[in-house]
Amino acid sequence: MILGIALAVLSGVCNGLFTAPMKLQARWKWENTWFVFIVVSCLLMPVSILAATAPGWMQVLAAAPAGALAAALGFGFAWGFGAIAFGRSVDLLGVAIANSVVIGLSSALGSLVPLVMGGRIELAPRILTLLAGVAAFLAGVALCGAAGVARDRATAQRAATPASMTGYFFAAAAGVMSAVFNIGFTLALPISRGGVRAGHSEFAATNCIWLLMLGAGAIPNLAFCAWLMRRNRTAKLLSGPASARGWIIAFVMGLLWGGSIFLYGASVPRLGDIGPSIGWPLSLAVGLAVANLMGILLGEWKTAGAAAVIRMRWGLAVLAAAIFLCAFSARMS
């Protein structure tokens, strides 16, 4: 159980760090970085890790229930559009507001829906503790988002681009489809159970699910990036002597985010019978806290007013409480 909590926390750390290298990107456009990032995290990593941990993975998939396979592919494909919607919401609303809406919806739905689907909603102490952790997480997200809005207003970053209803629509869609990722993973768990029965470890068997979900999710992302590179004529930036920096940055991003997914998958079997409902908010809470701490270390709050800094500190404190509650609920399983 302690190992499961540690893996979920480490997953959140990787998730909170994966966007930091983008700040070092100078020559490439978003579509260049995102294209390579998706290839590394959603294609190369799943295939490499699965080949190393479960050589007989094709037999596992062949023996898996059709419903579980359809859930992994369908929900993974839907998540791919959620990643695109998230990028659009950031452009229209800014990082603070977009992340607050997206992560708030994703954490609540991604944690509660698996409980409802499994018939686990009950007045048991561990469920009440988990629900308290989710509520604390949403409160922390709201405080961090409010701090970001106050900071952006203080630095006049959003003065020329007011938030639009279109941006909120994309953010809501991204939040729902990000939660869909965890719901699809829950529905696809029979694949990993079949792999364990076939003699594979839980980690190796779970990697069969990631191969399907991440591979399906890569399709809309790669298609959208290819369309943007053709429209903006930016495909040429992928080659040439000056492109090495871009490849390294995108590769590191892919390793961090892909690593967060595989670490989350390794944590779920160790968190009890409601592992997806515990691990998801725990990982997201840690990821949001790390992302905001990185923003502080990178000097993003130097020009923010006192009110914004105070809200951020309270937000991080509430997120710490959410992390504790989610971890404690796992210990109660």
Place of tokens 């952006």: 152
**Digit-coded pLDDT (tens) for 28-45:** 888 999 899 999 999 999
CB 210 within 8 A of CB 262: yes
pTM: 0.78
CB 187 within 8 A of CB 75: yes
- Helix H segments across the chain? 2-17, 30-38, 45-53, 57-63, 66-93, 95-117, 125-154, 165-187, 189-197, 202-232, 244-267, 275-297, 306-331
Euclidean distance between CA atoms 124 and 136, whole angstroms: 18
Euclidean distance between CA atoms 115 and 112, whole angstroms: 5
Among the listed residues 317, 273, 295, 324, the one whose alpha carbon sits nearest the alpha carbon of residue 114: 273
State the first-to-last Cα distance of the chain, in angstroms, to the nearest integer: 9
30: number of Cβ within 10 Å: 16
CB 268 within 8 A of CB 206: yes
Q: At what angle do helices 125-154 and 306-331 cross, to 10 degrees?
A: 160
* Dihedral angle sign, alpha carbons of residues 272, 274, 278, 281: positive
- Based on its alpha-carbon atoms, the radius of gyration of the chain, rounded to whole angstroms, reads 20
305: number of Cβ within 10 Å: 15
Residue 271 gets which letter from DSSP?
S
Give residues with Cβ within 8 angstroms of 143, minimum separation 6: 311, 312, 314, 315, 318
**Digit-coded pLDDT (tens) for 173-193:** 888 887 788 788 889 989 999
Confidence (pLDDT) at 160: 43
Confidence (pLDDT) at 35: 94
Regions of the chain short of the pLDDT cut 70: 90-100, 104, 107-108, 110-123, 152, 154-165, 272-277, 298, 300-301, 330-333
91: number of Cβ within 10 Å: 12
Token duo for residue 240 = 């040439």
